[in-house]
Amino acid sequence: MLENNAIILDLKFPRAGIVAALKNAFPGREVIDMGDPANAGRNLSDFPYAVVWKPDPSLFEKAGDLKVIFSGGAGVDHILSAYELPDLPVVRFVDRSLTDRMSEWVVLQCLTHLRGALVYQRQQRDHVWNELSPQPEARDVTVGVMGLGVLGEDAVKKLKVMGFDVVGWSRRKRQIDGIETFDAEGLDAFLARTDILVGLLPLTAETRGLYGATLFRKLRQGGALGKPVFINAGRGGSQVEADIVAALRDGVLGGASLDVFETEPLSADSPLWDLDNVVITPHAAAASDVEALFRHVERQIARFESGKPLEHVVDRAAGY
């Protein structure tokens, strides 16, 4: 057992959820909640654990004796890319509720584009009764998922249950029952099969700016939806928004659903807001449930303090 077993929290999440979840979390440990103004200026130099989401830039300098850093979300780009991090284990958040929510969002967006929901919404607003025909079935449409990690693997399985033809792409070749998979080398073949592209990649040096004009032109044209659709809930830094807008205007893409953006919040003057065939959600595809996050941190600290290996440790070289 460490002499000081306290936890620093620096989570830029809604306060009410944090305060409520803290009532029953971390028994027997001091929690220094940096969201509480009473802790401003507190000496953080000898605390072993930090749980962070977009932390204050000076946190890692001030907390010089950390042993483990816990990310408040599944993605870790908010810490890996922004700070000179000490060489410590970074544990990311992996949780059933987060995974389920992401798959709900992905399936919803694929069905939205499959069933012409945006067109029907406009028609309803204009009091127009007009059936879109022909209506393709899910089995006529290939959804290609980029990123087959915790979230991508769950999403491909649930898309399959909905009847879609599903293919997947990841850095290393993955085996998933019933899903044709491609590795990094197979990108062009994967894109040529894909009618609806779903991005569930982490943001790393390799994935930055990946979803741009060159990639969109490689997607299948003339499939059951006519034009390909781009859906992204990974990270906005992987997409080039000017290219998305141009591809939608030029008919290279037929639609898009975006939960993440190059800069968040999305600027009020972005042309994306006003394109008919675009769904925008405010980085809300799969929010972290704070109670579940604290339970996950408690489990990992218990492992760490009893000498067991931590789970979900980020590969710092790969960046995710």
For binding to ligand NDP (CB under 6 A), which residues are involved? 73-75, 98, 102, 147-152, 170-172, 174, 184, 200-204, 206-207, 233-235, 259-260, 283, 285-286, 320
φ and ψ at residue 32, rounded to 5 degrees: -100, 100
Cβ 74 to ligand OXD shortest distance, Å: 4
Can you name the residues that pair with 68 across neighbouring β-strands? Answer: 49
For helices 117-125 and 96-114, what crossing angle results, to 10°? 70
Toward ligand NDP, which CB reaches closer, 101 or 227?
Answer: 101
Looking at 217, 283, 295, 303, which residue is catalytic? 283
Q: Which amino acid appears at position 308 of this protein?
A: K
Answer positive or negative: Cα dihedral of 284, 286, 291, 296.
negative
Q: What does 206 interact with, of ligand NDP, ligand OXD, none (CB < 5 to 8 A by kind)?
A: ligand NDP
Cβ 208 to ligand NDP shortest distance, Å: 10
The residues in 74-93 that bind ligand OXD, with binding defined as CB under 6 A, are 74-75
Answer positive or negative: Cα dihedral of 51, 56, 57, 58.
negative
C-alpha 169/C-alpha 201 separation (Å) is 10
Toward ligand NDP, which CB reaches closer, 75 or 255?
Answer: 75
**283 is a catalytic site residue:** yes
Residue among 96, 71, 13, 11 nearest 284 (CA): 13
- Binding pattern to ligand OXD, positions 47-76, x when CB under 6 A? --------------------------xxx-
| Alpha helix segments (H runs only) across the chain | 15-22, 59-62, 77-80, 96-114, 117-125, 150-161, 187-193, 213-217, 241-250, 290-305
Toward ligand NDP, which CB reaches closer, 123 or 281?
Answer: 281
Looking at 78, 113, 235, 296, which residue is catalytic? 235
Q: Which residues are near ligand OXD by CB under 6 A?
A: 73-75, 288
Could you list the active site residues?
Answer: 235, 283
